[in-house]
Amino acid sequence: MINCRDLEESILKVKQSGLNTIEVFSIVFALLTENVGRVALSKKLGFSERTVRKIVSLLKTSDLSQIFELLGRINVTTINAPWLSCQPVLYEGFSSEVLESISEKIILLRDFIVISSREPSKIEVLGVLRNNHLIYPGLIEDYAKPYLKLREKLPETSGLLVCWRNYKRFLDDSILLTSLSRLCEYENLVGVVREDHR
């Protein structure tokens, strides 16, 4: 299971390489899922061929190769829900620590996603699936009803459910991971401040 330390260490390695985290994660997600070359990757993701070539080369030769192992632990499943105006996507593979943090700081995670995507209406709702129980923290019960119907379509598992507007595969998945890392950094910062005030 992926925990906060895994996310933060991966982000740090990307930053130390002088690369863009969302670009690196998007390329890794695409390489893990589809057998395509650099030109096809460039067209699919909307990145320049030069950017893709540079990142692919560094992924083979540096510490960044560990990111393949990390992202390979995440199971991304799109859910068919024609009654919704958004695209639900289930992300499995996160530790209970990460899911608990999401449940408690759902608004903050939403803010981080908005900042990373630069789209204020990028997500419609965020849900947490734990021990087969689906909740939408902070969402009024009446508004949650159409989203709760998704439970019938989900496997018996735990994970994060994101209902994306204008979902862009790989890119939005990477935005989510970057935002989760920021949430973890925030949790650590708050923890340090609490320790200092004891």
* pLDDT above 70: percentage of residues in the chain: 94
Per-residue pLDDT of 108-151, as tens digits, reads 999 999 999 999 999 999 999 998 799 999 899 889 999 999 99
Q: What is the pTM of this model?
A: 0.91
Per-residue pLDDT of 35-87, as tens digits, reads 888 888 899 899 999 999 999 888 887 678 889 989 999 999 999 999 999 99
Q: What is the pLDDT of residue 195?
A: 46
Q: What is the pLDDT of residue 66?
A: 86
Q: Is the pLDDT of residue 197 over 70?
A: no
Q: What is the pLDDT of residue 190?
A: 57
Q: What is the pLDDT of residue 189?
A: 65
Per-residue pLDDT band for 163 (boundaries 50, 70, 90) equals: very high
Per-residue pLDDT band for 198 (boundaries 50, 70, 90) equals: very low
Cβ neighbors of 124 (< 8 A, separation 6 or more) are 84, 85, 86, 163, 164, 165
HSE-up of residue 85 (Cα within 13 Å, Cβ side): 4
Would you list the DSSP string of 114-174? HHHHT-TTSEEEEEEEETTEEE-TT--HHHHHHHHGGGGGS-SS-EEEEEESS--TTHHHH
Q: Is the pLDDT of residue 194 over 70?
A: no
Please state which of the ranges 26-35, 53-62, 169-178 shows the lowest mean pLDDT.
53-62
For residue 182, what is the enclosing H or E element?
A: helix 171-196
3-state secondary structure of 196: helix
Rounded to an integer, the average pLDDT of 96-106 is: 94
- Residue pair 153/79 in contact (Cβ under 8 Å)? The answer is yes
In the block, tokens 């709702």 appear at 125
**37 exposure class (CB count in 10 Å sphere: 0-12, 13-18, 19+):** exposed
Which residue would you say has higher pLDDT here, 187 or 43?
43
* pLDDT above 90: percentage of residues in the chain: 70
